[in-house]
Amino acid sequence: MAKIIVITSGKGGVGKTTSSASISTGLALKGHKTVVIDFDVGLRNLDLIMNCERRVVYDFVNVINGEATLNQALIKDKHNENLYILPASQTRDKDALTQDGVEKVLNELSERFDFIICDSPAGIEHGAQMALYFADEAIVVTNPEVSSVRDSDRILGILQSKSRRAENGESVKEHLLLTRYNPIRVEKGEMLSVDDVKEILAIKLLGVIPESQSVLSSSNSGVPVIHDQSTDAGQAYDDAVERLLGAEKPQRFITNEKKGFFKRMFKGAATA
């Protein structure tokens, strides 16, 4: 039985797809059989970030509609044999995702994988609800600004009331992933701090991913940033994956000083 984890946010453009790519890659790198599903039907881009867009023949909606088998639609990652991608259709709309259809696909995947990562579309409508409905756990991706935090709060309410687990009286395990964090702007008071966000959302912090140029260059080259452990964002995602698997790790990249400290450490190690 796989663990189903939705990566969701409410607000758009906060880093869900970036996080889905790195977290699924991280799980696979640590030996877990992982599949990442793009629920953003109509706006495919997980396959771009994972650099497999030219290998897409069939997609998630084809499988739901019985037009293709899972084996035909699943794309094996180039870098890691434990990782598969189930791409979204560009030509349909989100209503093509039916609850029964999604359940059928998840059940089938559940027998073959340890982790199923669901990359949710933005918003709180049908597409986002389909992505979170069957989740055992949720990673709520939030940027350190008021509107993103508010939307995350909203999504947490939906997870508690409209997911399958909620309907069965169980709870979905919630994780906060604070992304695009810029300690300098936090110090200047231009962004909310980790503590501000933690206090408002009151859920466990999975990790803080710094705002980083490396994220842009890695998504342009189609290699999820977690592959590059010389980058701050890559290390931060690796920490987050370890925590997801149960490890206790201190938070890094939260303060400006610490970042400097780690930079010096890293430089020291590299020249030694």
Partner 1 sequence: MSSDTGTTIAPEAHKSAENPPVQPSIKLKASLAPMTALELTSFEPKQFSEELAAKVAQAPSFFENLPVVIGLEKYEEPSLDFERLIEICQAHQVKAIAVRGASASLQDVARNHGLGILAKQKERNAAIDTDTPAASEPAPQEPKADEPAKVEIKTETQISKIVHHPIRSGQQVYAADGDLIILASVSAGAEILADGNIHVYGTLRGRALAGVKGNTKARIFCQSMAAELVSVAGQYKISEDIPSSTIGKPCQVYLDEQTLNFQKLEL
Residue numbers at the binding site for partner 1 (CB under 8 A): 124, 150, 153-154, 156-158, 160-161, 167-170, 199-200, 202
Nearer to Mg ion, 16 or 175 (CB): 16
Q: Closest separation between CB of residue 108 and ligand ATP, Å? A: 25
CB nearer to ligand ATP: give 70 or 119.
119
Query: Where does this chain touch Mg ion (CB under 5 A) — which range of 10-18, 94-102, 124-132, 207-215?
Result: 10-18
Confirm or reject binding of residue 239 to ligand ATP (CB under 6 A).
no
Per-residue three-class SS string for the chain? CCEEEEEECCCCCCCHHHHHHHHHHHHHHCCCCEEEEECCCCCCCHHHHCCCHHHCCCCHHHHHCCCCCHHHHCEECCCCCCEEEECCCCCCCHHHCCHHHHHHHHHHHHCCCCEEEEECCCCCCHHHHHHHHCCCEEEEEECCCHHHHHHHHHHHHHHHHHCHHHHCCCCCEEEEEEEEECHHHHHCCCCCCHHHHHHHHCCEEEEEEECCHHHHHHHHHCCCHHHCCCCHHHHHHHHHHHHHCCCCCCCCCCCHHHHHHHHHHHHHHHHC
Alpha-carbon distance 231 to 225, whole Å? 8
Residue 40 C-beta: closest distance to Mg ion, Å: 5
216 binds ligand ATP (CB under 6 A): yes
Determine the Cα–Cα distance for residues 38 and 255; give it in Å rounded to an integer. 33
Residue nearest to Mg ion (CB): 17
Taking every pair of C-alpha atoms in the chain, what is the biggest distance, in angstroms? 58
Output the smallest distance, CB 6 to ligand ATP, in A: 13
With CB under 6 A as the contact rule, the residue among 13, 31, 157, 260 that binds ligand ATP is: 13
Q: Which is nearer to partner 1, 71 or 168 (CB)?
A: 168
Measured from the Cβ of residue 110, the count of other Cβ atoms closer than 10 Å reads: 16
Dihedral in degrees, nearest 10, Cα atoms 201, 183, 267, 246: 0
Site for ligand ATP in 14-53 (CB under 6 A): 14-18, 40
Contacted by 156, from partner 1, Mg ion, ligand ATP, none: CB < 5 to 8 Å by type: partner 1
169 binds, among ligand ATP, partner 1, Mg ion, none (CB under 5 to 8 A by kind): partner 1
| Nearest residue (CB) to partner 1, 28 versus 156 | 156
Quote the tokens at residue 108.
């089938």
Q: How far apart are CA 160 and CA 256, in angstroms?
A: 35
Site membership for Mg ion, residue 180 (CB under 5 A): no
In the set 2, 8, 14, 16, which binds Mg ion (CB under 5 A)?
16
Taking contact as CB under 6 A, which single stretch among the options 30-38, 77-85, 148-156, 215-223 is the one that binds ligand ATP?
215-223
Tell which one of 2, 64, 233, 241 touches ligand ATP (CB under 6 A).
Answer: 233
* Distance of closest approach, residue 262 Cβ to ligand ATP, in angstroms: 16
Residues that bind ligand ATP (CB under 6 A): 9, 12-18, 40, 121-122, 179-180, 209, 211-212, 215-216, 219, 233
Catalog residues that contact Mg ion under the rule CB under 5 A.
Answer: 16-17
